[in-house]
Chain A
């Protein structure tokens, strides 16, 4: 029994060390913009400008080079008092390391999908995952209902359950071509191609002008001052 406990203790401390190292690495900032530029749609100067935005958002509550949920909400809603099913979902999708905070790498990689030049397939995939609340690989009626109800509540609108059900019925009539009560990736793709406006939130024109909005004074070629 005590051996078991020792083992668990050891495991925990190892994990903690790993997490610490990871966090340290995550918060180290902009080490090599070229790598990120290569692996995303952004140019090096766009990465540098994006980093300026990241610094602004990540220092709002705790100045630790990382964006926590509160800072994300603050940046999105301009108030940290607002809880939102959708903001939570977006944050979770950005948080590919699943540690509850966003490092610059996660931030840049996720935002890359929102660039006007990003491939549409990436946008379709990301938007599908946004709506797939339970992450089961398909969008169920219940998930859509939950989101419709949340949207109505957020806007101070109220509709009867019957009306909400009829909205979902009509939506599924068009989207659920296989008639199995859920929308899979293929059906989602077809729906989006028929209604391109469904992807409007997946493109941020601001990203194209980011170097002018957030000028970075970091010169890429490091010249030593004498």
Chain B
């Protein structure tokens, strides 16, 4: 089994790694044929801008995002997500096109945590990845997103939802 490329001391850069040429399954072929579904301007605005999200009125601190943008290709993102799943002992329940569902191994407070991830495309070099909880405890889901997924994905993430990433 290949060692995940990103844990080989890969230095942080905005550019994306080039995938291996070997095509492992039919999914890779399918993904190279068509891009991820289009994420239109309004979807982009309503997801990425925190001013439109009033749920923060009810929270005591800034909510952590479950969505991020990436400059990488849809296929690279899907491959990275699958690798991250395995790193955290999540089983990839299914992976089709630009959607996948992963399930944790251990039983949490409300059963096994299951997370779906979907990749969309705003423009050819701008992808959006949305996580959502499919099953399990919400707190465990938030913890997974913040403590596990986020650091593991940092090499492909351009910007996280609701964060001001301006270099000032």
Contacts and interface: CB of A to CB of B under 8 A. Distances in A.
Given A148-B44, A166-B123, A198-B46, A89 B166 contact: no
Contact of A170 (B40, B53, B125): B40
Main secondary structure of the interface of B (DSSP, over half): mixed
B62 interface: yes
B54 A198 contact: no
Contacts of B51: 76-77, 84-90, 154
Contact of A130 (B38, B52, B165): B52
B126 to A, nearest CB: 7
Chain A interface size, as a band, is 35 or more
Interface residues of B, number: 33
A42 interface: no
Contacts of A76: 50-51, 54, 56-57
A82 B158 CA distance: 21
Interface stretch (A6-14, A116-124, A155-163): A155-163
A199 B37 CA distance: 18
A114 interface: yes
Nearest to B51: A86
B45 A204 contact: no
Contacts of A114: 54
Interface of B: 38, 40-46, 48-58, 61-62, 69, 122-123, 125-126, 158-159, 163-167
Interface of A: 53, 57, 75-78, 82, 84-90, 111, 114, 130-131, 144, 147-148, 150-151, 153-157, 159, 163, 166-168, 170-171, 174-175, 191, 195, 197-198, 200-201, 204, 206, 213
